[in-house]
Chains A and B, each alone.
Chain A
Amino acid sequence: MNEARARFFLNLRQSIDPLLRVLSNKSAPPPSLGLAFDISGMPPATLKSSALTYGSVGEMIKDFSIVFGVPKYRTSKPKKVTRKFSFTRLLQPIDNLVTCPACSNIHPSDTICDACYSKVHKLTSEIKKKMMEYNPYVGEKQDREVYVKFKGESEAPAAVVKGKRVIELEKDRPTWFKKLTLKE
């Protein structure tokens, strides 16, 4: 786009300059028409080959930058200040931080500790995966409570299991996951 524009201006200038030269009927060509067309500020001798003097399109565009989109009005001081320091840009202090008594992680007081929860989340996903291993389309249902048995644990007493569906995990019981007892 910009390249086409630049080429247009070059062509325009190259067609106007000889015309002016003919009209003025002098030996030296007249000065260029205006600021927008004053692409090089080179001596008139090199003007004829000005289309070839540009090494790259970028160079040409750099010369023409004055005719491209630029701010029309100066941005006022209050606008700049508002943009930089309005209330949305200010940093607010978090003053409700507490320390987790279990792992000393810092978290807002209205939330649970996310470091502790990540452990719970991982184990929950594993149990859930086993829990969801049933096919409702052949009449299987989650019709019993679930009892989780970890690797290396002996068979739980019948009073604890009480007809629950036993899910076996291939890992040891974490120390923080309490075992179900008879008291419950």
Chain B
Amino acid sequence: MSAHRVAASLPRIGVTIGHTPQKLKTGGIEPSRRARLEVLRRIVTRTVREERVELKWNRAVEARPYVERLIQLGVERGPLDEYTAEMMEWWLPEKDLITKMHEVIVPRFQNRDSPFTSLFRLPPQRLQQFIQNKREVWKRYDIGVLEIDGNPFPAIQAAHQEQSDSILDVLLADALRNHQITLQEKLEASTESK
């Protein structure tokens, strides 16, 4: 069908695709293959609306390629393409988000290569679930932070500083700086004496 044709003609998305399909069970949705897509659709919609979301790690890994492909469709095909419109309509049931996609998110990536999203993993967290008969129930969570690049929020990882960790480099840099300072002092002294 058309899906096959389109997938063949689009460039590769620059993110890893998880090799084990996750079950993605959610309360209120009967588990099935269709339900999996429903859960993914919720995640994709939420990601586009909020631009940075915290999810369970496996769900974030699973949903990321879908977000990526949707943005790529917008970048490569534009809003007038029939298949793009169909995909946007299905993945973003809220109409204002389709507008956001075409007017805000896609223009960011016009001259950029994939990946358009970032995924960070948090250390495993123990969070309290509930208290039952004075018994505290804690659960371990693996949390991933999925975000669309170019968002207005503060960067999760600070920009990498051009600084070497090696002690030799640190000492050399200090020595050079001291040398420069002494040279500067000498120059000043000579100009004053004249």
Report whether A124 and B122 are in contact in the complex, using a CB–CB cutoff of 8 Å.
Answer: no
CB distance from B154 to the nearest CB of A (A): 4
Report whether A124 and B100 are in contact in the complex, using a CB–CB cutoff of 8 Å.
Answer: no
Q: Kindly identify which residue among B108, B153, B161 contacts A123, using a CB–CB cutoff of 8 Å.
A: B153
Report whether A123 and B154 are in contact in the complex, using a CB–CB cutoff of 8 Å.
Answer: yes
Bound complex: CA A140 to CA B100 (Å): 11
Report whether A177 and B99 are in contact in the complex, using a CB–CB cutoff of 8 Å.
Answer: no
B52 contacts the other chain (Cβ, under 8 Å)?
yes
Report whether B152 and A112 are in contact in the complex, using a CB–CB cutoff of 8 Å.
Answer: no
Report whether B123 and A107 are in contact in the complex, using a CB–CB cutoff of 8 Å.
Answer: yes
**B125 partner residues in chain A, CB cutoff 8 A:** 114
**A147 partner residues in chain B, CB cutoff 8 A:** 152
The DSSP consensus for interface residues of chain B is mixed
A40 contacts the other chain (Cβ, under 8 Å)?
no
Q: Kindly identify which residue among B103, B122, B161 contacts A112, using a CB–CB cutoff of 8 Å.
A: B122
Bound complex: CA A106 to CA B158 (Å): 17
Q: Kindly identify which residue among B50, B95, B156 contacts A117, using a CB–CB cutoff of 8 Å.
A: B156
How many residues from A make CB contacts under 8 Å with B?
33
Report whether B96 and A141 are in contact in the complex, using a CB–CB cutoff of 8 Å.
Answer: yes
CB distance from B189 to the nearest CB of A (A): 37
CB distance from A163 to the nearest CB of B (A): 11
Q: Give a binary string over A93-135; 1 marks a CB under 8 Å from any B CB, 0 the rest.
A: 0000000011000011011101011001101100110011000
What is the chain A residue whose CB lies nearest that of B120? A112
Q: Kindly identify which residue among A102, A108, A124, A136 contacts B153, using a CB–CB cutoff of 8 Å.
A: A124
CB distance from A106 to the nearest CB of B (A): 9
**B108 partner residues in chain A, CB cutoff 8 A:** 145
Report whether A131 and B96 are in contact in the complex, using a CB–CB cutoff of 8 Å.
Answer: no
Contacts A141-B96, A142-B96, A145-B152; A111 near B104 (Cβ below 8 A): no
B186 contacts the other chain (Cβ, under 8 Å)?
no
CB distance from B49 to the nearest CB of A (A): 8
A153 contacts the other chain (Cβ, under 8 Å)?
no
B121 contacts the other chain (Cβ, under 8 Å)?
yes
10 A-B pairs (CB sep. < 8 Å):
A110-B121, A112-B122, A114-B125, A117-B122, A131-B50, A132-B50, A143-B104, A146-B152, A167-B152, A178-B159
A residues engaging B (CB < 8 A)? 101-102, 107-108, 110-112, 114, 116-117, 120-121, 123-124, 127-128, 131-132, 136, 140-148, 167, 174, 176-178
